[in-house]
Structure 1
Amino acid sequence: MSLIIGTVVISLLCLLTLPHLKFAFNFEQFFPTGDKDLEFFQEFIEEFETDDNFLLIAFVNEPSIFDTSFLKRLKTFSIACQDVSYVTSVQSLPLFGFPTMSPIGPIIKNAVHLDNPSLLKKDSIRLLNDERILYTLVNEKATATAAIIKTEDEIQIKESKIIMHEVDSLLSAYNMENYHILGRAYFQTELSELQFKEITISTIISGILISIVMIFIFSKWRSILIALSSIGLALLIFLGVLSLLGRELSLMAALYPILMLIVGTSDVIHIMTKYFDELKSGKLKKEALEVTIKQIGMATLLTSLTTAVGFATLLSSRIIPIKEFGINSAIGVIIAYIVVITFTCPLLTYFSNDQLLNYKKSKFNWTRILTWSYNYTLNNGKRIVYMSFLFLGLSIYGISLIHTNYELQKNLPQGAKITEDFMFFEKEFAGFRPLELAITIKEGYNVFDYEVIDAVARTEAYVKSQAEIFNAFSLATMIKSINQMLKGDDPSAYKMPTQKEYERVSPFLDKIPLMGSEVLISKDRRKTRISSRIKDVGAENIQKVSLEVDDWISNNIDSSVVTIKQTGTGIILDKNAEFVRESLLYGLGIALLIVSLLMGLLFRRIRFLLIALIPNIVPLLFAAALLGYANIALEAGVSIVFAIIFGIAVDDTIHFMSKYKLAKDRNNGDKEKALLITFLETGKAIIYTSIILFFGFLVLMFSSNLPSVIIGLLISVTLVSAVVADLFLLPVIIRKFDD
């Protein structure tokens, strides 16, 4: 009774900590640690600024944005946004100006004549042909214009929520309708809210599903209540532990309730099914529990450890949220097992057989079904082997089709406003993914030397010539603007001056306050940058563009004048595509080694160890092949599928092999008798847990997050292959190799 009370008290204390659970989402979480390019990018940020410190708001006004009333409202809104917390500057079409020479020197003149509507037509023609404006502040059809709100660097969820609250208030106050938002503050605010919603929905649906399954399996309401209480307490304690440890829940946190409910259910079913079978055989409660803990409890401990090891393989990832997901899930698996032992097992002994057992004959004749399965493997061994080799060949081909060309849009919640907004900017403006080129000036040259500016200008021009890149901003932008100013504000003069003309331009470089110019040069004036954005065309396609740019730079830019290196948030995130396969194979290799050692301790025979491992390669191959055939990109989020599959699939194999070993030892080494007993006593629990696993992960189909949907489908379908391998391939292997 003390164990039961202790478990309940701990769970209640954990319940009190749930309001303190932390949610987090920012792109820096997904940067691969230990990468030289990341170190370079972090140095770049210190010298300049982050490349995602913006909030873009695109306002749609049809048939044209060049409407006096609309532009005046936009101007007052933009000015008001300058007072929003954590905002450093605001730019929009009514505030934008060109450098113009006046009698008192260079000044900034508004590009839009709000005080003279008759000139708006002329303004629109000029602006739509200006590369500084098109796709940055105005779309090609002139039906939308963007306000660019710069924020402080590396704002977190708390600051983001404050910004979005104040911006939303201004949007309402100035009657700004039909708009789309993009940027760090918006992402963090929306995605953190979606996280909480996803966790709540997945927990409720999983709970309902498991309740239905428990009713089907146990029938008696007390048995069902014991099972559900055990699972619920395990989930409460798990979330409480995460809260006490100060863990921040990332986008993958929606998987935690499902994992805990499924893992806890699996443990409960194996323990309770065995206990009930022992009671039905005539044993007293104490003796039945002792047998259950001795035979199933130890096997369940091993399966919990192997499942935890499967999740722990994610520690090989370079991505912090995936590492934390692995650690947290491993902790959860162990908590689920402890709760079953300290709560479920002792609680069962407080109820009579009549209160727990259903003596009615099941509608399913499990003996007949499982005996048929046993006979099929006995009589069709060669056919099963041939089918296995065919499966292997098809899997290898499917694996050869795997790619890593993931897109950001596919990681956003489907049907949500945030995704609609993202796609609007992809279609109408320059997109979201930042692309930075860091330019280091060599000794003997200064930042404003013509050779340096010329290298910057030619590089910027080549970058903008790429079909996927629509805008860029650099010192060359300033130079061309000043050249235009000095030539009577002639739009055709917006171009790089000759070296001789540059002598007239250079004195004005520190005198023209163009927006953004203050972050184009490092403090020591030894570095500058080209800042641009690239469309979300997929990691592999972007890598091709990146290689083309690097190749052009190496062939056309004098490295004795400047060196140029690509960097930025997008580049660093895309590095994950390079590391995901490496860390995946390394992690699974370590998992196989550790699981082998654990199985070695249980079975104490190398042959048993090898027999047990073979069926668990099947679901891994199947999952990888499905990725290839379904044209699903192997990216960081999807890669966790393999850890989950391996960690869970090995459980049924251990239960099957453990029972087989016990039955063989008790029947004087008779393999066939041992296999038949194993089918009849363990097969039902394996099928039950597999059904729960299948439908449990299928709950993720209700997610608005596409990677979660993919993970749910992959795991559900793949775990079917795992139970097929355990019940059909494993017995054939045992007959062949267990002498």
Structure 2
Amino acid sequence: EVIVGTGKKGGVLKDATLKRIDRFSDTLAAYPELSRPLSVVDAVKFMRQGFYGGDPGRYGLLTGTDKRFMLPYLQHLDGGSGGAGMGKAFIDSTRATTRITVQMADVGTTRMDALLQKLRAQADSIFPADRYDVLFTGTSVVFLKGSSYLVSNLISSLFWAIVIIVVLMALLFNSVRILVVALIPNVVPLILTAGIMGFVHIPIKPSTMLVFGIALGIAVDNAIFFLARYRLELKLTGGDLSRSVDNAVRQVSVGIIYTSAVLVAGFSMFAFSRFGGIQALGLLTTITLLIAMLTNLLVLPAMVLSLNKRIMSKAFNEPMLEIYDEEEDIELEALTVETQKAPKPDGA
């Protein structure tokens, strides 16, 4: 829908306005994504054709001669007071505002946004801004605005998710170096997934934006799992960096692989959906989780090993939060039971 306001009573039926609307309608009709537009101009043309007995050659705007005979009919184009004129659907009761109706094919939000930008520029060139107010509206425009608003909010939520994860990891490990080491292997899968989306022309939309938040939360969980075990191994090995990394990989690799395999199997089911958004969600989440599993098993230990012993050992000193290790062996023979005698009552 294109709303054209003249700001003057009866301004829609002026010759200059009708000619501009007719010119803009021809512009709209030139786009294959759009249907044939309908406006008050079509009503005027039909009225002229009907006045001349349905002659197809008379289908057009009124000439100076036509106005002398058809001006009374033109004034009642909107049906008058409560009438049912054929122009009533296109102009308001004061004949100051009109609309142009056109249908748009499902071309996607990217093409739709570019098309609207181009149409706005052409409308501005046809309707002077000091004389006309042109507004693009309708379901397509509302859907485009809603999608853009939703995507921007999803990007904002992803940003705050990263901030919260960083804060929690800072409390857990108490080191900026460890934050960098933990985040890089988990941000890389998101970047690669975004690259894949661009390579295969998958647009950024609400269903695809959800992939990044889901995958980031799961991938960071695996990184914390490895780093927590690595910190424990540092204490058990007396600060031996190589042995600590090797032992941590041996301890957590199976768990990370099993967890990732279950999640990949679950999300891959969405890939068989006939709905494009759900299908993209399943495929992209599966790919991201697989890449995140590999980066946490290969890149993360390699980054830890690439840093010297002094830096990594110091980084794991005195964390603000201590993780309780449920797998730590307990010597049952060393356990003792303390008993305490009950106090004797007074006078006994």
TM range (shorter): 0.7 to 0.9
- Structure with a larger share of its residues in strand: 1
The partner residue of 1:465 within 30, 34, 37 is 30
Tell me how far apart the structure 1 counterparts of residues 247 and 109 of structure 2 sit (CA, whole Å): 52
Corresponding position: 1:570 with 2:140:
yes
Cα deviation for residue 608 of structure 1 reads 1.6
In the aligned structure 1, how far is the partner of 2:274 from the partner of 2:17? Answer: 48
Unaligned runs of 5+ in 2: 314-348
592, 595, 598: which one aligns with 2:162: 592
In the alignment, the residues of structure 1 paired with residue 209 and residue 67 of structure 2 have an alpha-carbon distance, to the nearest angstrom, of 53
Q: Which residue of 605, 612, 617 maps to 2:187?
A: 617
Structure 1 position 735, deviation (Å) = 1.6
Kept in 1, the 8 Å contact 2:9–2:94? The answer is: no
**Bigger radius of gyration, 1 or 2?**
2
The answer to whether the 8 A contact 1:445-1:561 is kept is: no
Q: Is the 8 A contact 2:10 2:94 kept in 1?
A: no
Mapping of residues 272-287 of structure 1, within 5 Å? none
* Cα offset, 1:495, TM superposition: 1.1
Counterpart residue number, 1:398: none
Distance 1:675 1:598 in 2: 23
Superposed CA offset, 1:339-394 (max 9, x none): xxxxxxxxxxxxxxxxxxxxxxxxxxxxxxxxxxxxxxxxxxxxxxxxxxxxxxxx
Contact 2:13 2:95 in 1 (8 A): no
Q: Deviations over 1:41-78 (max 9, x none)?
A: xxxxxxxxxxxxxxxxxxxxxxxxxxxxxxxxxxxxxx
Where does residue 627 of structure 1 map in the other structure?
Answer: 197
Contact 1:466–1:545, Cα closer than 8 Å, also in 2: no
Contact 2:185 2:295 in 1 (8 A): yes
Taking the TM superposition and a 5 Å limit, the aligned residue runs for 1:313-712 are 436-443=1-8, 446-508=11-73, 509-511=77-79, 513=84, 517-522=87-92, 525-575=95-145, 582-583=152-153, 585-712=155-282
* CA distance in structure 2 between the partners assigned to 1:462 and 1:503 by the alignment: 30
| Inter-partner Cα distance in structure 2 for 1:718 and 1:682 | 20
Q: Is the 8 A contact 1:451 1:561 kept in 2?
A: no
Distance 1:584 1:697, change over 3 A: same
In the alignment, what sits opposite 2:322? none
Equivalent pair of 2:7/2:97 in contact (CA under 8 Å): no
Cα separation, 2, equivalents of 1:608 and 1:630 = 34
SS at match of 2:295: helix
**How many angstroms apart in 2 are the aligned matches of 1:537 and 1:702?**
23
- Alpha carbons of structure 1 residues 700 and 560: separation in structure 2 relative to 1, 3 Å: same
**Is contact 2:41-2:61 (8 Å) kept?**
yes
**TM-score w.r.t. length of structure 2:** 0.79
CA distance 1:523–1:597, change in 2 (3 Å): farther
Give the corresponding residue for 1:93: none
Q: Tell me which residue corresponds to 2:296.
A: 726
Q: Alignment partner of 1:439: what SS? A: strand
Q: 1:658–1:701: structure 2 CA closer, same or farther, 3 Å change rule?
A: same
CA deviation profile, 1:3-23 (whole Å, cap 9, x unmatched): xxxxxxxxxxxxxxxxxxxxx
Root mean square deviation, CA, Å: 2.4
Following superposition, the deviation at residue 526 of structure 1 comes to 3.4
CA offset at residue 673 of structure 1? 2.5
DSSP-derived class of the 1:456 partner: helix
How far residue 627 of structure 1 moved from its aligned partner, in angstroms, is 0.5
User: Using the alignment, how far apart are the partners of 1:510 and 1:503 within structure 2?
Assistant: 19
- Cα 1:548–1:559 change in 2 (3 A) is same
Deviation at 1:688, TM superposition (A): 0.5
Q: How many residues align?
A: 303
TM-score (norm 1): 0.39
Question: C-alpha separation between the residues in 2 aligned to 1:715 and 1:537?
Answer: 25
Deviation at 1:583, TM superposition (A): 4.5
Letter in 2 for 1:652: N
1:522 deviates by: 3.4
Secondary structure of the corresponding residue to residue 472 of structure 1 = coil
Q: Report the CA distance between 1:559 and its aligned residue.
A: 3.5
Residues 390-412 of structure 1: CA deviation (Å, up to 9, x unaligned) = xxxxxxxxxxxxxxxxxxxxxxx
Change (3 A) 1:479 1:644: same
Q: How does 1:130-279 map to 2 (within 5 A)?
A: none
Q: Is the 8 A contact 1:576 1:636 kept in 2?
A: no
| CA gap 1:500/1:716 in 2 versus in 1, 3 angstroms | same
User: What is the rounded CA distance, in whole Å, between the counterparts of 1:499 and 1:592 in structure 2?
Assistant: 69
Structure 2: distance between partners of 1:578 and 1:709: 21
The answer to whether the 8 A contact 1:653-1:726 is kept is yes
Mapped to 1, the partners of 2:12 and 2:126 lie a distance apart of 19
CA distance in 2, matches of 1:707, 1:551: 32
Matched residues in 2 for 1:447 and 1:712: separation?
52
Deviations 1:100-124 (A, max 9, x none): xxxxxxxxxxxxxxxxxxxxxxxxx
Query: For residues 102 and 56 of structure 2, what CA distance do their matches in structure 1 show?
Result: 22
